[in-house]
Amino acid sequence: MAVISFSDQPQEIWCVAGWAFRQLLDDVLFQYPDDQEMAAKFEESKAHGGLVLYLLKPEIAEKLATAIRKVAEGILSGTISSGLINQTYGDAVTIEQYRSALKALLEALSLRGRSTVSSNKTSFKWFGFDFRALSRKVR
């Protein structure tokens, strides 16, 4: 399992199978091949199994969230082709699972910022793992 946390609110956290998380990051990087900052952050995120956007500098978090949203919308609309189709496991069932996961991602993104809790001042634990501590390590 892997997550993208837009805040510490459960409805603003995208939790999916690790392959879907890695595929999304790869798909985004394919669309932004010259963005070294994004590439570095995504590589760290893959290694840790999560991307905690709300703990990053606001301008970086916004840039990454916007890129993720644009790519997810593009894949779902058919204007962007996912690298999943080139994978040996990229069969029709897997592609539909990925599309479903992207829809859930866009839902979590649409809720972003509607929370009244200040997420930057709290820690977020998921199955006992403190993502705030992780973010301090990978910044």
Q: What are 75-113's pLDDT values in tens digits?
A: 999 999 999 988 888 899 999 999 999 999 999 999 886
Average pLDDT over residues 11-21: 96
> Starting at the edge strand that comes first in sequence, how are the strands of the sheet with 2-5 ordered?
13-16, 2-5, 50-52
pTM of the model: 0.80
| Residue 98, CA atoms < 13 Å, CB-side half-sphere | 27
**Is the pLDDT reported for residue 11 higher than 50?**
yes
Domain that holds residue 55: 2-138
Average pLDDT over residues 111-133: 50
pLDDT exceeds cutoff 60 at 7 = yes
| Count of structural domains, the chain | 1
Closest CA to 134 of 43, 55, 22, 61: 55
pLDDT, residue 79, reads 97
Give the Cα separation of 103 and 119 in Å (integer).
24
Mean pLDDT check: name the lowest of 26-35, 65-74, 77-86, 108-117. 108-117
Q: How would residue 64 be classed by pLDDT, with cut points 50, 70 and 90?
A: very high
